[in-house]
Structure 1
Amino acid sequence: MFSAIRRRLTRSSLRARLTFWYLLTLGATLTLFAGGLLLLRARSAFETLDADLQVRAHRLSADLRQDLFSLDVPGSLASDPLAITEPISVRTSAGVTIYRSPAFPELTWSGEGDAFAAARAQRGERTIQDRSGRSFRLTTLDIQRPGADRLILQVAVAESVVTTPLGELTLLLGITIAFVLTVAGWGSSYTVGRALAPVDSIVARVRDIQAHRLGDHLDVRADSQELDRLVATLNAMLDRIETSMSSARRFAADASHELQTPIAAIRGTLDMCLRDRSSAEDWRGTAVDLLDDLDRLSELVRDLRLIALAEAGHLLDEREPVPLAELVQDCCETAAVIADAQQIHVATAALEPLVVNGSSRHLRRVLINLLQNAIRYSSSGASVFVSVGQSDHMATLTVSDSGCGIDPADLPHIFEPFYRADPARARNTGGSGLGLAIADQIVRAHGGHIDVRSTPAHGSTFSVSLPLAGAMNGS
Structure 2
Amino acid sequence: MKINLSIKRKLLIYHFFIQTIVLVIFSFSLYKALEISTLDKLEATLKVIILDVTDDLLENEKITQTLLDEEKEYKYEPLYIRILDNKTHQKIIQTENFPSNIEHNDDYLNNLKENIVTFEKQNSYLVSRIKIDFHGEQLVIIEAVTTKDMITSTLENLLYIFGFILPIILIFAVIGGNFVIYKSFLPIENILDELKQINANDLSARLKTRKTKDEICQLINEVNNLLSRLENSFERISQFSSDASHELKTPLTIIKGEMEVTLRKDRSIDEYKEALKTSLDEICLIEQTINDLLFLAKNEKDLIIDKQENFYLDEIADEAINELKNFAKLHKIEVSFVVEDSLELKGFPNLLKIAIKNAIKNAIQFSFENTKVIVKIFKKDDSLNISIQDFGIGIAKNEQTKIFEKFYRTDKSRNKNSGGTGLGMSILKKIVDIHKGDITIKSIENSGTTITFTFYLK
TM bin (shorter chain): 0.7 to 0.9
* 8 Å CA contact 1:137, 1:156 repeated in 2: yes
Alpha-carbon spacing, 1:404–1:459, altered in 2? closer, same or farther (3 Å): farther
1:106 to 101, 109, 118: 101
* 8 Å CA contact 1:140, 1:154 repeated in 2: yes
* 8 Å CA contact 1:450, 1:462 repeated in 2: yes
CA distance in 2: counterparts of 1:48 and 1:182, whole angstroms? 35
Tell me which residue corresponds to 2:288: 299
AA partner of residue 99 (structure 2): F
Alpha-carbon spacing, 1:95–1:438, altered in 2? closer, same or farther (3 Å): farther
Is structure 2 residue 452 aligned with structure 1 residue 461? yes
AA partner of residue 279 (structure 1): S
* 8 Å CA contact 2:328, 2:335 repeated in 1: yes
Q: CA deviation at 1:152?
A: 1.2
Where 2:138 maps in the other structure, the secondary structure is coil
* 8 Å CA contact 1:348, 1:387 repeated in 2: yes
Is structure 2 residue 392 aligned with structure 1 residue 401? no
CA distance in 2: counterparts of 1:349 and 1:459, whole angstroms? 16
CA distance in 2: counterparts of 1:385 and 1:209, whole angstroms? 50
CA distance in 2: counterparts of 1:40 and 1:461, whole angstroms? 85
AA partner of residue 337 (structure 2): A
Alpha-carbon spacing, 1:180–1:427, altered in 2? closer, same or farther (3 Å): farther
Is structure 2 residue 275 aligned with structure 1 residue 280? no
* 8 Å CA contact 2:132, 2:140 repeated in 1: yes
* TM-score for both structures, normalised by structure 1: 0.73
**CA-to-aligned-CA distance 1:358-397 (integer Å, 9 cap, x gap):** 675x5543321122234456677574423276998xx956
Where 1:150 maps in the other structure, the secondary structure is strand
2:200 to 186, 211, 220: 211
AA partner of residue 293 (structure 1): E
Is structure 2 residue 320 aligned with structure 1 residue 331? yes
Is structure 2 residue 378 aligned with structure 1 residue 385? no
AA partner of residue 386 (structure 2): T
AA partner of residue 146 (structure 2): V
How many residue pairs align between the two structures?
A: 433
CA distance in 2: counterparts of 1:17 and 1:194, whole angstroms? 16
Q: CA deviation at 1:55?
A: 2.1
CA distance in 1: counterparts of 2:100 and 2:443, whole angstroms? 115
Tell me which residue corresponds to 2:63: 69
Q: How does 1:375-454 map to 2 (within 5 A)?
A: 375-376=364-365, 383-387=373-377, 396=384, 398-401=386-389, 403-404=394-395, 410=401, 414=404, 418-420=406-408, 422=410, 425=413, 428=416, 429-439=418-428, 448-454=435-441
Q: CA deviation at 1:228?
A: 5.1
Q: CA deviation at 1:255?
A: 1.5
AA partner of residue 441 (structure 2): S
AA partner of residue 187 (structure 1): G
CA distance in 1: counterparts of 2:226 and 2:10, whole angstroms? 28
**CA-to-aligned-CA distance 1:165-224 (integer Å, 9 cap, x gap):** 134324424643332122021122023213423422321332232211223444598999
**CA-to-aligned-CA distance 1:11-51 (integer Å, 9 cap, x gap):** 65342354455556655655555455445433432222112
Where 2:340 maps in the other structure, the secondary structure is strand
* 8 Å CA contact 2:385, 2:452 repeated in 1: no
Q: CA deviation at 1:95?
A: 5.7
Is structure 2 residue 135 aligned with structure 1 residue 141? no
Tell me which residue corresponds to 1:86: 79
Q: CA deviation at 1:322?
A: 6.4
Q: How does 1:150-189 map to 2 (within 5 A)?
A: 150-173=139-162, 175-189=164-178
Alpha-carbon spacing, 1:46–1:374, altered in 2? closer, same or farther (3 Å): farther
Structure 1: unaligned runs, 5 residues or longer: 1-6, 72-83, 468-475
Tell me which residue corresponds to 1:313: 302
Structure 2: unaligned runs, 5 residues or longer: 66-76
CA distance in 2: counterparts of 1:95 and 1:435, whole angstroms? 120
CA distance in 2: counterparts of 1:391 and 1:20, whole angstroms? 67
Q: CA deviation at 1:160?
A: 3.5
Where 1:214 maps in the other structure, the secondary structure is coil
* 8 Å CA contact 1:398, 1:462 repeated in 2: yes
CA distance in 2: counterparts of 1:160 and 1:350, whole angstroms? 106
Larger CA deviation: 449-458 vs 140-149:
449-458
* 8 Å CA contact 1:420, 1:433 repeated in 2: yes
Is structure 2 residue 5 aligned with structure 1 residue 42? no
CA distance in 1: counterparts of 2:242 and 2:26, whole angstroms? 71
**CA-to-aligned-CA distance 1:274-301 (integer Å, 9 cap, x gap):** 0143211222222222221222223233
- Percent of aligned positions with the same letter in both sequences? 20
Tell me which residue corresponds to 2:48: 55
Is structure 2 residue 9 aligned with structure 1 residue 16? yes
AA partner of residue 79 (structure 2): E
Alpha-carbon spacing, 1:424–1:193, altered in 2? closer, same or farther (3 Å): farther
CA distance in 2: counterparts of 1:137 and 1:145, whole angstroms? 25
* 8 Å CA contact 1:328, 1:386 repeated in 2: no
Where 2:134 maps in the other structure, the secondary structure is coil
AA partner of residue 91 (structure 1): L
AA partner of residue 301 (structure 1): I
